[in-house]
Chain A
Amino acid sequence: MKKVFFLLASGLVIGTGLLLALWIYSEQGMKSVEKQYSDFSDHDQYYVLISQDRSDLWSTVYESAAACAKEHNAVLDWIGLDAPVGYSVEDCMRIAASSGASGIILHQETPDDLTDLINEAARKEIPVITVLNDDSDSERISFVGVNNYQMGEICGRQVIDSLHEGKNEIMVLNGEGEDDGSFGLMYTQMLQVVDSGKTPDQEVVFQTQKLNTQTSFDTEEGIRDIFLRVGALPDVIVCLNPIVTECVAQALVDYNQVGGVTVIGYHDSDTILDAVSKGLIKATLSIDAEEIGELCVEALDEYWTLGRVSDYFNVGISMITQDDIPETEKEGDPSEEEGDRGSGVTG
């Protein structure tokens, strides 16, 4: 009988263990569902990012800004990123003001006048920070951007390296929404640098062209037109927009102009770096996107903490050439190649 009782006790223990495991498993299943609705933490501030640019530059800016916001006990939202409908910048501004945001990070690409909307937000005590393109007439609290003077100097030096004897045609491509004032500063400085750096036997002719980067697919169409223009292909193309840079690099391959045109790009996305490593792009201007995100959030935090903030924050820039890219990235990681099939320059 002792054996029977021992068996009984063992069976009860094992059975209880099994049922306990079942209970724990079912509870975990139910709690994992509940956790989704309860597993969050409160934050003091709610910041929004407004940008129509979905390029890798702004993805980096958003990720960096979101991480920095978390450190400063704030939540960052990119208005319109996953929206079922396309919001304009004005829509985003209105949504931001109506949603009770405690700060707006605004990147304006279009020439539309947002001064009124910025001012309306300011009246609602919602601070606005402009990024890369400024609206100095508005009541924005700060501007985060690059030093256009420095940018022009860097680009100019790269242009000088690309010059040959005789006539050199330099085309500067810009997006339509880019700030004319900022562009003007950069362009003027570049001209000065090239003019002072060229040799006497070198003739340099500059031209600028604005491309529509707001409506879908128009950028690529514009660049196609440039490459199809007979006899109008420049010696050097300076791109001041990431999408323009990527489209130009692809067009070089599509229209068999690799080596025929020197391209100076803008931004250091994977596609652009790939093009640099392959020699399609001579160099690309890299803006520290992470720094942009961090500076924007810190500016807003400083505003809420101190009640005031600096009017301007400078973002670091550098020029990346083929030599700056590590050997592993040049050869290409097979797993990365497979993953980036959609983002690389195809030929």
Chain B
Amino acid sequence: MSSNDQTITRRHVPWKNSIQTKLAGVIALMMVLILAVNLFISSRTSSMVEKIDSVFASNVSIAELTQTLNSLEGYVYEYLNTKSSAALENYYRYAEEYRQLAEGLNDKNVDNPALMLEKNIRHMSMDYLEKTEKTVQAKRGRNVERYKAFYEEGALLCGYINAYIYELNNLLFAQNSENYQLLLNVLRFMEVFSIVVIILIVLFSMFVLIMMIRTMTAPLTALSEAARQVTEGDLNVAVPVVNTRDEMGIVTRAFNQMLASIRAYIERVRESMQDQSRMKERELSMEANLKEAQLKFLQAQINPHFLFNSLNAGAQLAVLEDADATSVFLERMADFFRYNVKKMNSDSTLQEEIELVDNYIYILNVRFAGDITYRKDIEEGTGGISVPGMILQPLVENAVTHGIRDMLDQGSISLTAVMEEGELRVTVKDNGVGMTREQIARIMEGMPSEEEDSGSTGIGLINVINRLRLFYDQEGLLSIYSEGTGCGTEVTMHLPVRPEKAVEDSAQMQE
């Protein structure tokens, strides 16, 4: 792990990289966006409503003008009628008010009908105010004809002004109605458009949020799928790399590292086991080679042909010297060793094996002055059965070496061979020291004897057991029975026999 990752895993994820921060940020942004849009639409709608409210303001002001004019005309008439100071005062007040209103009208020659009407109204109003002023002055000066004439002219102008105001009012009303309808249509469109925009923004916000959540949870989904595959045994799965520095990125990278570590560990263990296996193989091979080497060494020490020839020569010499017993002994020795070499790796018959045992016993009896009692009971027809070579003599040797060695002339060995239940049972029994259960068990488990016998021919019981197993491809072909120490030992071989093979072998033997 890099030091950076160590830092991140040891402490909290920086707030700016955290999933929490990202989600909160996006949600806040969406809220702000929706709020801003709402505020904007609200302000626009408010402006539009204000504009609509002001559309008919011009008609309102025109109505005020008419009202003031009519009031003014009324007070002029009242003054002329009653010459009251109140009427005069009101006249002056309304005249001033009307003047101010009139001066607020357009005074320019423009190509706009409504504004031109305003201009005309303004000029006529000024003319009217002049006339009314002269009327009042004439009244105050008691000039009846003058004030009557001025009043009539003023009344005429008042009529014209009212007619113009009426025409202007109608024109403005028509225009304002159009404007009102226009603004109303705009407002209605804005309402619909605003609703559509808000819906679109809300949908868009939801879409962005869903996209963002999917982006954040996609690595989590991939991670869970990868974990599921790992639980099913597939360690070669890999989670797509996430380059973010948030929690998901950390977990994803950690998971990938963990998987890589597990695979590396498994690989190391596998290599170690392979190494161990190779070592064991080599050890076995070495052991086999060693034994072969030992054997070759032994064989190399004794040249079999020289031995045979020497023994035969010795036998012939014994004959020449009339030493018949010696000659027989040497012949039997030669036969024994010839058979030993010839049958090491080849099949033999039971009869041949028994003859070897006979030679062996003869040789031993010569050495030990006939102390070994040897009996055999061989069923007829069994002599020709094919058996592995060098399996009987080691059993007899074992009985002699370990069983009756120290029994002087009390030791006896019996050899029996019978056919039972389709198998050849060959039993070598002695009345020697016997074997304990532990000894029997050691031998059956393939553990070599603790004693190294220098007089042995070198092929032990274990070797016989192994060769029987290899020859017949079966287990349990040899059994050892002993009642205990001092009770002798009985070693039995259970050799499978094929009937046609037995008949063929027997016929060959008879020939």
Contacts and interface: CB of A to CB of B under 8 A. Distances in A.
Interface in B158-209: 160, 163, 166-167, 170, 175, 179, 182-183, 185-186, 189-190, 193-194, 197, 200-201, 204, 207-208
A98 B190 contact: no
Contact of A74 (B109, B128, B215): B109
A41 interface: yes
B47 interface: yes
A12 B193 CA distance: 17
Interface in B105-132: 108-112, 114-116, 119-120, 123-124, 127-128
Interface string A26-37: 100110110011
Most buried by A among B111, B123, B175: B111
Contacts of A43: 108-111
B44 A23 contact: yes
Sort chain B's interface into a size bin.
35 or more
A191 B124 CA distance: 49
Contacts of B51: 30, 33
Interface stretch (A81-89, A217-225, A245-253, A303-311): A81-89
B160 A30 contact: no
Contacts of B157: 94, 98
Interface string A1-27: 101100110011001001100110110
Most buried by B among A23, A25, A95: A95
Contacts of A32: 182
B12 to A, nearest CB: 20
A18 B200 CA distance: 10
B27 interface: no
B179 A99 contact: no
Given A41-B110, A85-B163, A11 B204 contact: yes
B223 interface: no
Nearest to A10: B204
B503 interface: no
Contacts of B208: 4, 7-8, 11
B355 to A, nearest CB: 95
Nearest to B108: A42
B265 interface: no
A270 to B, nearest CB: 26
Contacts of B110: 40-43, 75
Provide the main secondary structure of the chain B interface.
helix
Most buried by A among B26, B120, B156, B215: B120
A36 B172 CA distance: 11
A45 B119 CA distance: 13
Interface in B250-272: none
B21 interface: no
A83 B167 CA distance: 6
Contacts, number: 128
B211 A3 contact: yes
A46 interface: yes
Given A19-B37, A23-B44, A43-B110, A3 B190 contact: no
Contact of A95 (B120, B200, B212): B120
B179 A1 contact: no
Nearest to B212: A4
Contact of A46 (B26, B109, B167, B215): B109
A26 B175 contact: no
Interface of B: 22, 26, 29, 33, 37, 40-41, 44, 47-48, 51, 55, 108-112, 114-116, 119-120, 123-124, 127-128, 156-157, 160, 163, 166-167, 170, 175, 179, 182-183, 185-186, 189-190, 193-194, 197, 200-201, 204, 207-208, 211-212, 215, 244
Interface of A: 1, 3-4, 7-8, 11-12, 15, 18-19, 22-23, 25-26, 29-30, 32-33, 36-37, 39-46, 70, 74-75, 77, 82-85, 91, 94-95, 98-100
A-B pairs with lowest CB-CB distance, top 8: A29-B186, A100-B123, A99-B120, A40-B112, A40-B110, A43-B109, A98-B127, A46-B109
